[in-house]
Amino acid sequence: MRGSIGGPRVMLRRLRELMAEPVNAQERLDKIVMTIASNMVAEVCSVYVLRGDSRLELFATEGLKREAVHHSSLELGEGLVGTIAAQAAPLNLPDAQQHPAFAYLPETGEEIYHSFLGVPILRGGQTLGVLVVQNRTHRTYPEEEVEALQTTAMVLAEMIAGDELDSLVTPGENLALRRPQHLAGRALTEGLGLGHAVLHEPRLVVTSLIAEDVHTELARLETALDSLRTSVEDLLTRSDIMRAGEHREVLEAYKMFAYDRGWAERIREAVVSGLTAEAAVERVQNDTRARMLRQPDPYLRDRLHDLDDLANRLLRLLVGWDHLEDEELPRDAIIVARNMGPAELLDYDRERLRGLVLEEGAPTSHVTIVARALGIAMVGQVDGVLDLVNTGDAIIVDGVSGEVHVRPPADIEAAYVEKVRFRARRQEQYHQLKDKPAVTRDGQPINLMVNAGLLVDLPHVKEAGAAGIGLFRTELQFMVAATFPRMREQLQLYRAVLDAAGDLDVTFRSLDVGGDKVLPYLRSAQEENPALGWRAIRMALDRPGLLRTQIRALLHAAAGRELRLMFPMITEVGEFDRARALVERERRHLQRHGYALPDTVKLGAMVEVPSLLWQLEEMVARVDFLSVGSNDLMQFLFAVDRANAKLADRFDPLSPAPLRALRKVIEVAHSGGVPVTLCGELAGSPLTAMALLGIGYRSISMAPAAIGPVKAMLMSLDLGTLERWLLPQLNLPHDGLRKELTGFAQKHDVQI
């Protein structure tokens, strides 16, 4: 093992004593730089702290002119110190003046020092400042000294993160750590959320930095590394507990890192230099994050992300997982995560959720759909948000513009409070439309329905003034449960749904799991392409026991009423026939045993797999209704994973190919006299809903919050004019029609 064992450990011990001394912040900092300078035999040691205005202010120095302290500062990226902060990487120079970034600050008197070693002060991926040592002679600092200075910088990071230094910053300024951050992402569900940040996978804050006994710390580290390897192996073999997004590739990367000697060795070295095991992990993790920031290759950046996740797991093993469970969710929680599955979102107390911010995320992924159903503001594709947010920070999620404000200044917060009021007034206007018939300006009635799936959705059906539930996603009950819901539990939910809907139509969809909808208790084999895999009706037909139980629960619940049931992911007509046969069999079974049955049973198929587009005539001859699942249909038409953030904007459903496909469904269904509804996310935004009406859809189903805006749109729409303009456009060669459709709406005063 390289490195001198004595040096940094002696220094860290001395720093620990200094941290405990009852002196004021400036005195403590002064003593710290003095200690570092003498320990490293440097003539200069200085600390620069990053301010909210992106300047690095000199906070303390041993060796440079004292008058410069709190008077001298550099822009982020300016000079050597600014370069270190901007790149989050050390600089080790035998002749500083020769470096192209060198900036001369006359007030410091540093021109006589030639060699220069500076390291960033990092914490949780953020740069908080820079720590520098300088010498008169031309020397290159050995690697051990660079390491030692980086380790020492962690102590300063702790000090900056506490509030001790806040009072020292030049009046009128604040520390970067508490700086407001304005980030831009993609709006995924409409709404505004004001609240406090909760990290879905909290980053542990290491508070105990300096080891009492190196041997004990090394032993702790080895135990934790062993458990880490076992848990990753375990995850790899138990694919059933893998969560959405935690794909095999990621786990393989975890495994590679968990066995990476270099990584473990670097952590060990940091322990030997005097850190506790957890501080050593954090110290190595800081380097990883810094490399991540500088890495332009997205693939490598992802791998560094994986390594960062793994280090986080290791930290939790060292500090203890339990410690996280106790934290109470604030009443206005805004969840911040890299990505998550729908079931994980549903694990949170819905009453307390105000918003969701993801580094990834796409508009039709299921976590988005669930967030929309819960009425939570959501912004996705917010690069780097996890590194900028701390648990408990005030945060605003703007699901209209896609902006996220972390630690917003008072004026922004006030503006948002006003926006929230404005939205409430608009909601009130939409609410006024609730009892008005959904009829276009030229008198065409439109059937507006809601998508639902949970008990909490039910009051929304009436509140929104919807004509019924166009899609009841039965899998949500399965996703929130810890074990398979029994027949009785399913029956209770379905009965409650039908009771709440009263005279309104409810279309249940049979269990649609697989893809990104994972049931933690359902073991299934790992699949390369889960969206194209053993899911929905495919699984149901192979495991008829599950589907039969569900059908029985539905038949019981709808006794004396109408039961409308549709099957997801139908790919060929035979699948529908088999599903229908199962319904018939259950119906006869219940009849034989004298149970009350539904008055009528209507069965439908979802059109969401393109192969069905060429079997529409056969389908229409069999079904009572069709329902277009445009989310999956677009995913398969464009060959674009609906959960992949990188592709979310690449293809537009408002272009000729998908619009022609959607039009074809309408034409064939109409000629066969079969009603069609469209229940994907396309139905829920006024512009796309307008396009759907324009190509012939008269029944659409959407999130409850979308009913008001879509109704306002159609009430201002002359549908005849739209049809006359739009239908011929479908046959012309077009890249996309979004701009033209927006232009149409503006020209004809349609409220989109």
What residues line the site for ligand PEP (CB under 6 A)? 369, 471, 473, 512, 608, 629-632, 679-680
Among candidate residues 200, 405, 460, 679, the one labeled active-site is 679
Nearer to ligand PEP, 153 or 626 (CB): 626
282 binds, among Mg ion, ligand PEP, none (CB under 5 to 8 A by kind): none
Considering only 14-22, 461-469, 542-550, 603-611, which stretch makes contact with Mg ion by CB under 5 A?
Answer: 603-611
630 binds, among Mg ion, ligand PEP, none (CB under 5 to 8 A by kind): ligand PEP
C-beta of 554: minimal distance to ligand PEP in Å?
18
User: How many CB atoms are located within 10 Å of the residue 22 CB?
Assistant: 6
Distance CA 676, CA 686 (A): 19
Kind and range of the H or E run holding 122: strand 115-123
Residue 229 burial by CB count (10 A; 0-12/13-18/19+): exposed, middle or buried? middle
629 binds Mg ion (CB under 5 A): yes
C-beta of 713: minimal distance to ligand PEP in Å?
20
Residue 24 makes CB contacts below 8 A (sequence gap 6+) with: none
Considering only 45-53, 584-592, 604-612, 655-663, which stretch makes contact with Mg ion by CB under 5 A?
Answer: 604-612
378 binds, among Mg ion, ligand PEP, none (CB under 5 to 8 A by kind): none
Distance CA 509, CA 507 (A): 7
Is 679 annotated in the active site? yes
At residue 192, φ and ψ (nearest 5 deg) are -120, 135
Nearer to Mg ion, 35 or 631 (CB): 631
90 binds, among Mg ion, ligand PEP, none (CB under 5 to 8 A by kind): none
Nearer to Mg ion, 272 or 679 (CB): 679
Considering only 2-10, 156-164, 518-526, 601-609, which stretch makes contact with Mg ion by CB under 5 A?
Answer: 601-609
515 binds Mg ion (CB under 5 A): no
Residue 537 makes CB contacts below 8 A (sequence gap 6+) with: 510, 567, 568, 569, 570, 575, 579
Considering only 22-30, 480-488, 626-634, 660-668, which stretch makes contact with Mg ion by CB under 5 A?
Answer: 626-634
530 binds Mg ion (CB under 5 A): no
C-beta of 595: minimal distance to ligand PEP in Å?
30
DSSP result, 88-106: T--EEES-GGGSTT----G
359 binds, among Mg ion, ligand PEP, none (CB under 5 to 8 A by kind): none
- Residue 653 corresponds to which amino acid? P
C-beta of 495: minimal distance to ligand PEP in Å?
22
- Residues 24-43 touching Mg ion, rule: CB under 5 A, are none
C-beta of 55: minimal distance to ligand PEP in Å?
49
Distance CA 490, CA 328 (A): 31
Is 366 annotated in the active site? yes
C-beta of 750: minimal distance to ligand PEP in Å?
24
Nearer to ligand PEP, 279 or 454 (CB): 454
Nearer to Mg ion, 516 or 632 (CB): 632
Residue 647 burial by CB count (10 A; 0-12/13-18/19+): exposed, middle or buried? middle
C-beta of 568: minimal distance to ligand PEP in Å?
7
632 binds Mg ion (CB under 5 A): yes
514 binds, among Mg ion, ligand PEP, none (CB under 5 to 8 A by kind): none
Question: Rg of the chain's alpha carbons, rounded to an integer?
Answer: 31
C-beta of 372: minimal distance to Mg ion in Å?
14
Nearer to ligand PEP, 147 or 632 (CB): 632
586 binds, among ligand PEP, Mg ion, none (CB under 5 to 8 A by kind): none
Among candidate residues 366, 405, 460, 556, the one labeled active-site is 366
Nearer to Mg ion, 484 or 636 (CB): 636
363 binds Mg ion (CB under 5 A): no
Distance CA 663, CA 654 (A): 12
- Strand pairing report for 447-452 and 73-75: unpaired
Nearer to ligand PEP, 354 or 473 (CB): 473
57 binds, among ligand PEP, Mg ion, none (CB under 5 to 8 A by kind): none
- Residue 615 corresponds to which amino acid? Q
Nearer to ligand PEP, 282 or 608 (CB): 608
Distance CA 630, CA 676 (A): 12
Kind and range of the H or E run holding 280: helix 277-294
C-beta of 630: minimal distance to ligand PEP in Å?
5
Kind and range of the H or E run holding 335: strand 333-337
DSSP state of 560: T
Degrees, nearest 5: CA angle 397-400-403: 45
74 binds, among ligand PEP, Mg ion, none (CB under 5 to 8 A by kind): none
Q: How far is CA 752 from CA 403, 522, 712, 742, in A?
A: 21, 42, 8, 8
Nearer to ligand PEP, 234 or 572 (CB): 572
Nearer to Mg ion, 91 or 370 (CB): 370
Residue 600 makes CB contacts below 8 A (sequence gap 6+) with: 562, 563
Nearest residue to 689 (alpha-carbon basis) of 735, 606, 607, 751: 751
Identify the three-state secondary structure at position 294: helix
Distance CA 537, CA 548 (A): 12
C-beta of 117: minimal distance to ligand PEP in Å?
56
Q: Where does 507-572 have alpha helices with state H?
A: 536-542, 544-557
Considering only 92-100, 229-237, 611-619, 628-636, which stretch makes contact with Mg ion by CB under 5 A?
Answer: 628-636
Q: Where does 457-529 have alpha helices with state H?
A: 458-463, 475-480, 487-501
Tokens 């059937």 correspond to what residue? 447
663 alpha carbon, distance to own chain's centre: 34
Give counts: helices (H), strands (E), the chain.
27, 22
473 binds, among ligand PEP, Mg ion, none (CB under 5 to 8 A by kind): ligand PEP
Residue 660 makes CB contacts below 8 A (sequence gap 6+) with: 730
Distance CA 103, CA 81 (A): 9
C-beta of 545: minimal distance to ligand PEP in Å?
23
Considering only 56-64, 132-140, 556-564, 606-614, which stretch makes contact with Mg ion by CB under 5 A?
Answer: 606-614
145 alpha carbon, distance to own chain's centre: 39
620 binds, among Mg ion, ligand PEP, none (CB under 5 to 8 A by kind): none
Active site residues: 366, 679
- Contacts with Mg ion, residue ranges (CB under 5 A): 608, 629, 632
